[in-house]
Amino acid sequence: MRRNNLKKNTLHELLMANNVLKMAKENKRIDGRDFLDYRPIKIEPNVIEKPDASARVMLGDTFIIVGINFEIGTPFSDSPDKGILITEGEVLPTASFGAEAGPPSEEEIEISRVVDRSIRESGVVDLSELVIVPGEKVLKMFVDFNIFNDDGNIVDAAVLGTVAALLTGKMPDPKYIAEHIDEIDKISLKEVPRVPIPVKDIPISTTLALIGDKFYVDPNYVEESVAEALITITHTKNDEICAVQLYEGALGYEQVFEALNISLNKSREIRDILLSMVKNESTETNE
Amino acid sequence: MRRNNLKKNTLHELLMANNVLKMAKENKRIDGRDFLDYRPIKIEPNVIEKPDASARVMLGDTFIIVGINFEIGTPFSDSPDKGILITEGEVLPTASFGAEAGPPSEEEIEISRVVDRSIRESGVVDLSELVIVPGEKVLKMFVDFNIFNDDGNIVDAAVLGTVAALLTGKMPDPKYIAEHIDEIDKISLKEVPRVPIPVKDIPISTTLALIGDKFYVDPNYVEESVAEALITITHTKNDEICAVQLYEGALGYEQVFEALNISLNKSREIRDILLSMVKNESTETNE
Amino acid sequence: MRRNNLKKNTLHELLMANNVLKMAKENKRIDGRDFLDYRPIKIEPNVIEKPDASARVMLGDTFIIVGINFEIGTPFSDSPDKGILITEGEVLPTASFGAEAGPPSEEEIEISRVVDRSIRESGVVDLSELVIVPGEKVLKMFVDFNIFNDDGNIVDAAVLGTVAALLTGKMPDPKYIAEHIDEIDKISLKEVPRVPIPVKDIPISTTLALIGDKFYVDPNYVEESVAEALITITHTKNDEICAVQLYEGALGYEQVFEALNISLNKSREIRDILLSMVKNESTETNE
Amino acid sequence: MPKKEKKNEKVDEFIRPDGRKYDELRPYKIRAHILKNADGSAEIRLGGNWIIAAVYGPKEHFPKFEISQDRAILNCRYHMNPYSTSERKSPKPSRREIELSKVIRNALTQSVILDDFPEMSIDVFIEVAQAEGSTRVASITAASVALADAGIPMRDMVVGCSAGKYNGHIILDVGEIEDKEGEADLPIAIMPNLRKVVLLQMDGKMTHEEFKKAFDLALKGAMQLYEEQLNALKNILESMSTLGEGEINEKK
Amino acid sequence: MPKKEKKNEKVDEFIRPDGRKYDELRPYKIRAHILKNADGSAEIRLGGNWIIAAVYGPKEHFPKFEISQDRAILNCRYHMNPYSTSERKSPKPSRREIELSKVIRNALTQSVILDDFPEMSIDVFIEVAQAEGSTRVASITAASVALADAGIPMRDMVVGCSAGKYNGHIILDVGEIEDKEGEADLPIAIMPNLRKVVLLQMDGKMTHEEFKKAFDLALKGAMQLYEEQLNALKNILESMSTLGEGEINEKK
Amino acid sequence: MPKKEKKNEKVDEFIRPDGRKYDELRPYKIRAHILKNADGSAEIRLGGNWIIAAVYGPKEHFPKFEISQDRAILNCRYHMNPYSTSERKSPKPSRREIELSKVIRNALTQSVILDDFPEMSIDVFIEVAQAEGSTRVASITAASVALADAGIPMRDMVVGCSAGKYNGHIILDVGEIEDKEGEADLPIAIMPNLRKVVLLQMDGKMTHEEFKKAFDLALKGAMQLYEEQLNALKNILESMSTLGEGEINEKK
């Protein structure tokens, strides 16, 4: 749908959009994929050394980097026994002709929040293990993702990158900080011993575009621009649904369940890809 | 005057504005009121349950809600022995064709500050009774008012609503908090025992529009739009003046005192209406 | 260069700009100065009584006021043994036809940062003497400069004003505060005994415009508008370079060193002027 | 305030925090045409929720360069008032409010016939005066009535309802405590005659089976609220034919 | 800085914090045409207050869609410099500064003949370099001189002055301590020949009788400052006729 | 990541924090055309620095009133990503980033032939994914390659390099620790064939003699990086002539 961006599209993009619709009639996608196929996925954890965790994801030509930083903070008054998770995504102005620098747009806020919910609701990180002193000091986990090139399906790439970073990153040990709480103002967080991030699940989001009554898995930028509906569904490793977002458009009642089923199958497949890539890279880089 | 809004006025409003001027020559107002009459007033305290105090006011078709919340804060360094009062008003975009969402406009800031002064300078709330620990912790009182429909004379409606809310609301007991100051980070403010808000006065503001050398009391939206001058005067229950604001236009020297006298008389009348409505409602809702 | 401003220039300014170029061919400047001459300089310290230090500088028709205030703050975690210096400059909308009110422009941020570096890098103020309790409390020094009339070469005027203010101002005694650290919340900073600001150097910036392969020292507004390059170089009292900024344009490799040499000579001359004016004024006003 | 009728009948499976049955809506009431200045307006009370929606337009769109040549632009703002929650809410739009404005706009856009008004814009403003869970779907329900009240042509009404999971049970119309302490929240909005889902979000964890149950419950609740939307519009039409214009705006 | 002349004469009723009589202005001085670039400018010193006003225009107005067809737009900004108060003031406009910009603009608008310049705008910028009470009225007084210096046609000068109540006494020209510790503050601005009040605000508590006394005092003070406005303009006219243009801009 | 080759050869004068000689650049690699959507793009790795630049344009400029009749407008944004530094950086542009955007824009503007595209604009976006000292000059080096990749006509390449003073020694290509703990930093950018300096800043303290030595070192380093710029562009040209378009975008 991307209505806001449409008017900024280049002529090239408009022609491509037309092609998507033409080929839909022949049951084909413009890049030759099957309707249920993802594009090639490449996940590189620890691609940036400064933050506590990081990963780069290439999903076709969608190029995204995720960085995760931990800071010491104060828990929210209504959840004194939980660490804090903050997720912020930015579509960099490098990403496409229509992308703009500046404060987060409505669209950037929406995708950040969908990624946040995919992470948070799945319980991938047990926030209660980020507590230093209950009600007083907790770890605050910042997930920042940036889209350097947008060829569609940002959210799936961002969730993949975030989970890959969590699986391979390290965080400052909250127990160590608790034991040295009196010197907290003098501790440099970077010198606190690291422990693995307490990961409990492997959520996978899958995004589907509806074009002419057919679902396109992992839509690219042009497919998104002509989609009648666009939806993300996130599954936990136990096949539970943990986040859904209909971004744009309308679905028939039955189509909702068709989408859920497609998503479930794809999520298992993508989870395997993720785990194989993280395992390779994490031995390579971490040991 | 409302010059900024004029260009956004609907045709209907422009025709009505013309009518005001035409009828002025026949010594009449467009809604048939006498020049010194207020429109029907309806005051409902405790209309919202979430905040510590609230009220809805209908002044003719001007529809406004006031909510008051208390938080714990740090006193200003130049008044360590006083609580803090913060008043913010927003003309919601629902209120009129010309109203806009977004950061407070110049006009919204002005009316908030006039309402604030009417409350603050009258001493309606004894801010020294909001102190928890002098110089360290005080109660911070937020007065928020929203205009849902603007048919003119927002300020009088907002002052009425604020006073009604103060008279019927409750606040967390500062003495109780002082006695539990060591646990202050763990106290949920909502669980602190409530006491009545220490109200010392009943300030009443009255707003007058000057049209063709005649003062119109309680001007409606259209009358405001053609007014040559617009002024609010607030009186305490002891007939002292405690706030004056000439929003727009010019007054002759003698007209200043004419306005003060009209205002004094009206303020006594409106104060009685307020007290009768608050008494009814407060027994109804509070006991 | 001032490209952004050019379009806002008055016709008068455009004609004057043309004159600069015409007279350049005759080896003359529009105001009759020699290419290496500054305009008349007038420095008045302590021109405002409210802040801890202040000065007014007139550089020809460039009119600028600097005020310096000290507050108590927390040191940055990577420099626990240093006070904090914050420099903010604003070109007031009074300053020229093209100047605008509002958040700091790119140009205002740049000149603030150049003034800041001239002060900071020269070590004019020994920030380690602003420490109250290492790692916990330090003095935070705000340097605010405002341009009331901009006739060019704002930076040199601002550096002169800042140094003059530092030489003649007083700051709250950090030792006194350290001794009374328990009462820190109750101390009014204005009542703390004053000591001289620990000034260690007398940095002088000199700004040069390149017009037709010739350097113009202390360019005025119109000269700046036609300059092919604009550069500021700051020297310490020991003739070290402590800040350089090429704002706009390009320089040949040899021109860089030509500019450095001109700047060195002028900096010694201007430093003498500054010291003589500060000595006079400081006895006048401080004793 | 609408009275919360405490039902003391024997409940099927378990007691919800406010005593409702698992498939029971909170008390609700919709009234149309409640603001004088707006072209259309409505309020909804759903349990402790009190939400007011206003519509202005179709009208000339500013700024000019954003104009759409072939259809109207639908703007939509979802906004919580500072006193609508237990802790004061800053009047500045939060990231949550920005997201909800977008998904609500999408839901309404599916129904409004925007092609009828090229180069114009229609503004929908939603103000949450008091929030007690499931505000986004209640907002859509009220906004749709306000659009109808403004005479904007629509393909269908849009009506929203939530379901969720609380203490292991699938429940209809998630309340404030159920939202905070429950396991999942599923707000949906539909066009009831066109049988289309126009808002669909989920938070928390549900199996596919639970999701199906919750979705069906939410549909059922939405159909009940759709009846109330029609009632509200009928009441307005009746009062317009029997009373003078002055009376229409009378509150309560 | 203008010297504060400490008056040791016997005071009528009580001692004010700076030793003035109840009906005495602080030392004042107005100078016109003090900035080179502005079309008109002026500064006022009133006790410790030091305020500089500049006028640019009439000039083309941007953005275009705001243009008024039948008159010029008068913009006005009242702004305090960071070093103007005892504690550093953030350069960002506060809510107070925004309110004062509006009431000052209204005061000046009453006098400036805006109909002469349709589609144009006139900008008035007021910078408070040092503040010591009653800055808003001093600002108007300076801005009016700057407008005259810019050759903008006006119906009358606009001149401001404050009165107030301090320790039970009605006083003229409220100083900083009197403002902070006093019972009431009444700033006014007038068009002295047209006998119109164009700014009128009050803070604090006064009886109607006290208000009348304060208002009359403020009028009296304003008339004194009006004389000084005329002096400042006369000085400029004289220097323009006797000196070359270069000398006009000479400071002090 | 490019491997940091630890050189164990005997160093001339002193050991730098990362073992380099005083006149040695960190390992570097420039690659052009790395983003699919941008009209031109490039990345540079210089030690731990990883910077990506993209160019869009020439294209129609908005808003219209800013258009320049006789030349294109060059926009430039230098931006650090939140994970690029040891402590998380807020995504909001800092004052430092705003200053650097300006001086980088100036450097590029000297070379781009803007007169070829009146009324158009060219956007240069620089994203610092990882920062380890001397990012501004590395940014210029990458941006210049991205401009060439976009086919924008230029008078010369623009290439940047830094020199500095650390522990009393003049050094080439200032690293992160040297920047924080060193005595001076001198970033420059040049047009190597036109022999012009287009960025020149200095921080810290140096004598005139030291400055000369540092300046000459930085020039030498810049010439080395200029060769790498040409290599990167040559590689792209080669891959464009030997491979299908799909392959060009292949990473690594």
pLDDT at D245: 44
* Closest B-chain CA to E182: B121
How far apart (Å, rounded) are the C-alpha atoms in residues E72 and E61? Answer: 9
- Round the average pLDDT of chain C to a whole number and report it: 91
Confidence class for position A3, pLDDT limits 50, 70, 90: very low
Return the residue of E nearest to B117 by Cα: E203
Dig out the tokens for F218 from the structure: 């930085």
Q: Measured between CB atoms, does B126 come within 8 Å of chain E?
A: no
Contact C50 E52 (CB under 8 A): no
CA dihedral sign, ordered E231, E237, E243, E246: positive
Whether B243 and E211 lie within 8 Å, measured CB to CB: no
Residues of E in contact with B241 (CB under 8 A): 202, 205-208, 211
Asked if the peptide bond before residue E58 counts as cis, ω within 30 degrees of 0, the response is yes
D86-144 pLDDT, tens digit per residue, is: 999 999 999 999 999 999 999 999 999 998 888 899 999 999 999 999 999 999 999 99
**DSSP of A20-52:** HHHHHHTT--TTS--TTPPPPEEEEET--SSSS
Q: Pick the residue from chain A with its C-alpha nearest to F41.
A: A94
From B109's Cα to the closest Cα of chain E, the distance in A is: 6
CB distance A62 to A150 below 8 Å: yes
Res D56 pLDDT > 90: yes
Tell me the shortest Cα–Cα distance from B246 to chain C, in angstroms.
Answer: 26
Chain F nearest CA to C227, separation (Å): 14
Q: Please, which pLDDT band fits residue A4 given cuts at 50, 70 and 90?
A: very low
Token digits of residue E141: 């007084």
Three-class SS of residue F99? helix
Neighbours of chain A (3+ CB pairs under 8 A): B, C, D, F
What is residue B23's three-state secondary structure?
Answer: helix
Tell me how long chain C is: 287
Residues in B touching E207 (Cβ below 8 Å): 239-241
Amino acid at B212: G
User: Which residues does E144 contact at the CB level (< 8 Å), separation at least 6?
Assistant: E108, E111, E154, E157, E158, E159, E229
pLDDT in tens, F90-124: 999 999 999 999 999 999 999 999 988 888 999 99
Pairing label, strands F196-206, C241-249: antiparallel
Instruction: Calculate what percentage of chain A has a pLDDT beyond 70.
Output: 93
Place of tokens 């901009």: C150
Pairing of strands C53-59, D120-130: unpaired
pLDDT band at B280 (very low <50, low <70, confident <90, very high): low
- B146 versus C285: the higher-pLDDT residue is B146
Among E1, E35, E129, select the one facing C65 at the smallest CB separation.
Answer: E129
Q: What percent of chain D has pLDDT over 90?
A: 80
Q: Strand, coil or helix: what is D37? A: coil
> Per-residue pLDDT for B1 more than 70?
no
Q: Grade residue E250 by pLDDT with cuts at 50, 70 and 90.
A: very low
Provide the token pair at A189.
């967080």
Is the pLDDT reported for residue A13 higher than 90?
A: no
In the predicted structure, residue D252 carries a pLDDT above the cut 90: no
Full domain range(s) for residue A166: 3-286
The two tokens of residue E158 are: 């606009």
Question: Three-class SS of residue C91?
Answer: strand
Q: Do A188 and C77 touch (CB under 8 A)?
A: yes
Element (H, E) at F144: helix F135-149
pLDDT level of residue B281 (50, 70, 90 thresholds): low
B71 reaches D (C-beta below 8 A):
yes
| Lowest mean pLDDT, pick from B50-64, C49-63, C171-185, C240-254 | C171-185
Test F207 with C240 for CB contact under 8 angstroms. yes
Q: Which of B71, B183, B185 to mutate to test the interface with A (most CBs of A within 10 A)?
A: B185
Strands (DSSP E) contained in E47-158 are 49-60, 73-80, 120-130
Nearest to F204 among C121, C247, C249 (CB): C121
- CA angle B181–B182–B184, rounded 5-degree value: 60
E56 to chain C, closest Cα gap in Å? 7
Task: Please say if the pLDDT value at position D155 is more than 90.
Answer: yes
Per-residue confidence (pLDDT) for residue E247, from 0 to 100: 41
pLDDT of amino acid C196: 95
- Chain A CB contacts of F1 below 8 Å: 47, 49
**By three-state DSSP, how is residue D227 classified?**
helix
Q: Residue C206: beta bridge partners?
A: C233
Closest by CA position to E62, among listed C109, B97, F119, C7: C7
Give E75-124 pLDDT, tens digit per residue.
999 999 999 999 999 999 999 999 999 999 999 999 999 988 888 999 99
Cis peptide before F153 (omega within 30 of 0): no
Pairing of strands D120-130, D73-80: parallel
CB-based contacts of B108: which residues, under 8 Å, 6+ apart? Answer: B89, B90, B91
Task: State whether residue C6 sits within 8 Å of chain F by CB.
Answer: no
Which segment of D22-31, D111-120, D184-193, F123-132 scores lowest on mean pLDDT? D111-120
- Residue F69: band (very low, low, confident or very high) from pLDDT cuts 50, 70, 90: confident
Which one, of D162, D125, D107, lies nearest residue D51 by Cα? Answer: D125
Q: How far is the alpha carbon of E30 from chain B, nearest alpha carbon, in Å?
A: 25
pLDDT of E122-160, one tens digit each? 999 999 999 999 999 999 999 999 999 999 999 999 999
Determine how many CB atoms are found less than 10 A away from the CB of residue B178.
14
Cα angle value A109/A113/A116 (rounded, 5°) = 140
Q: Beta partners for D121? A: D59, D73
Chain D partners of A203 at a C-beta cutoff of 8 Å? none
Q: Looking at residue C23, which CATH number applies to its domain?
A: 3.30.230.70
Residue in chain E closest to C45 (alpha carbons) equals: E1
Q: Which chain E residues are closer than 8 Å to B110 by Cβ?
A: 98-99, 102-103
Angle at D232 between CA D227 and CA D233, to 5 degrees: 100
Q: Average pLDDT of D188-200? A: 98
Residue F147's H or E segment, with its range, is: helix F135-149
Contact check, Cβ <8 Å, B113/E196:
no
Which chain D residues touch B146 with a CB distance below 8 Å? 81-82, 127, 129
B206 beta partners: B233
Secondary structure class of D248 (helix, strand, coil): helix
**Residue A186 C-alpha, separation from nearest chain C C-alpha, in angstroms:** 7
Mark yes or no for CB contact A252/D195 under 8 Å.
yes
Calculate what percentage of chain E has a pLDDT beyond 70: 90
F212 shares contact with chain C (CB less than 8 Å): yes
C-alpha span between E223 and E192 (Å, rounded):
7
Q: Residue C159's pLDDT is what?
A: 98
User: Do at least 3 CB pairs under 8 Å connect D with C?
Assistant: no
Band the pLDDT of D242: cuts 50, 70, 90. Answer: low
Residue E10 distance to chain C (closest CA, Å): 29
Calculate the alpha carbon distances from B79 to B128, B138, E86 in Å: 10, 11, 15
In CATH, the number for domain F15-251 is 3.30.230.70
Cα(D20)–Cα(E87) distance, integer angstroms = 57
Number of Cβ within a 10 Å radius of residue B245: 25
Give all strands (DSSP E) within chain F, no chain letters: 28-32, 40-46, 49-60, 73-80, 120-130, 159-166, 169-172, 184-191, 196-206
Give me A277's structure tokens: 């890539």
Candidate from B50, B96, B150 with C-beta closest to D85: B50
Give contacts of F249 with chain A, Cβ < 8 Å. Answer: 61
Residue F168 burial class via C-beta count within 10 angstroms: exposed 0-12, middle 13-18, buried 19 and up: exposed
Of B106, B250, B260, which is closest to E102 when you measure between CB atoms? Answer: B106
Backbone angles phi, psi at A237, to 5 degrees: -65, -20
Cα separation, C53 vs C41, in Å, equals 20
Could you give the CA distance from residue B92 to residue B147 in angstroms, rounded to a whole number? 6
Say whether pLDDT at F80 is over 90: yes
Report, in angstroms and rounded to the nearest whole number, the Rg of chain C calculated over CA atoms: 20
- Of B120-129, B254-263, D195-204, E1-10, the poorest mean pLDDT is in E1-10
The residue with tokens 């006394």 is E213
Residues with Cβ < 8 Å from E85, sequence gap 6 or more?
A: C50, E131
Q: pLDDT band at C119, cuts 50/70/90?
A: very high
The full set of domain ranges for chain D reads 15-251
The tally of domains found in chain B comes to 1
Whether the CB of D77 is below 8 Å from some CB of chain A: the reply is no
Q: pLDDT value at position F66? A: 74
Q: Does B97 touch chain E (CB under 8 A)?
A: no
Residue with tokens 């005020």: C67
What CA–CA distance (Å, rounded) separates B70 from B143? 9
CA–CA separation, B205 and B118 (whole Å)? 7
This complex has an ipTM of 0.92
Is B249 touching E (CB cutoff 8 A)? yes
